[in-house]
């Protein structure tokens, strides 16, 4: 799968909007290009693959970083919603 705008193959799962409902009932899920932020819809199987790659990447980041004694409050990542 390539981005139709910039040709990137890097995507992440996009947030759902109420207007996505009609797409969701046809099993198409919103994803967003990591490079140009273009939003598009992909089949469920593709979305699952993106989700898995995403969580695998997060786990790798956690492993590679040495655990610090200072833990940030969990609310810090949710700011701006």
Q: Which residues inside 5-64 make contact with Zn ion, applying CB under 5 A?
A: 5-6, 8, 33, 35-36, 38
Between 28 and 62, CB nearer to Zn ion:
28
Nearest-approach distance from CB 67 to Zn ion, in angstroms: 34
Q: How far is CA 26 from the centre of its chain?
A: 20
Asked if 29 contacts 67 with a C-beta cutoff of 8 angstroms, the reply is no
Q: Any contact of residue 2 with Zn ion (CB under 5 A)? A: no
3 state DSSP class of 42: strand
Would you say 6 or 16 has its CB closer to Zn ion? 6
Alpha carbon distances (Å) from 55 to 18, 23, 49: 25, 24, 10
Residues that bind Zn ion in the complex, under the rule CB under 5 A: 3, 5-6, 8, 33, 35-36, 38
């Amino acid at each position: 799968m390539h981005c139709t705008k910039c040709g990137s193959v890097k995507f992440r799962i996009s947030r759902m909007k109420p207007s996505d409902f009609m797409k969701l009932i046809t099993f198409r899920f919103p994803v967003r290009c990591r490079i140009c932020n273009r939003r598009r819809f992909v089949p469920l199987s593709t979305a699952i693959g993106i989700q898995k790659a995403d969580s695998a990447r997060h786990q790798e980041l956690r492993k590679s970083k040495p655990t610090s004694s200072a833990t940030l409050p969990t609310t810090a990542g949710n700011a701006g919603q």
